[in-house]
Amino acid sequence: MNQSKLQSSFRLWVLIIAFFSFSPKGYSKLFLEMPQNLNWQLETTVNAVEFYYAISKCNTETVVFLKMKNKNNYNVQVSWKEVFQTQLEKDKETGTGKKIIIPPGETFESDCTNIIHPELVIFSSQINPTYVVSILKFNYRNIVISKAN
């Protein structure tokens, strides 16, 4: 291979590496930021608010994504507890209640890397830090809805 072809090839690789290293959507982020194809399951409807969940993966960890659809024409405050079925426990409750204000329409998370509502993403390591949890099922419990000011 002559020197000019070698230099051209080298320049091309430098450009490719520079593009992916300094680009806001660098190569390593490209695969992480792709939207997940979630299979949303409707769990229940309470006071015109629909409660959904989807079990998925983030890297190698099982994750539960939550989605709430407020069909009211005003903001609501929603609180709930979470119950999981894992490979070792049938009704594992996390013990902490969660609370969020939901505007009319849908509020949800579907991405592991750009979380806006952390209360709507549950990583398996949050359920039991002593062993690797495989989440088989999810349920909302003790749902309370009130009009938000």
pLDDT one-digit tens code per residue, 68-98: 999 999 999 999 999 999 888 888 887 678 9
Q: Tell me the CA distances in angstroms from 132 to 17, 51, 86, 123, 125, one per residue in order.
A: 36, 26, 10, 11, 7
User: Cβ(107)–Cβ(67) under 8 Å?
Assistant: yes
The pTM of this model reads: 0.72
**pLDDT, tens digit, 9 for 90 and up, residues 36-67:** 578 999 999 999 999 999 999 988 889 999 99
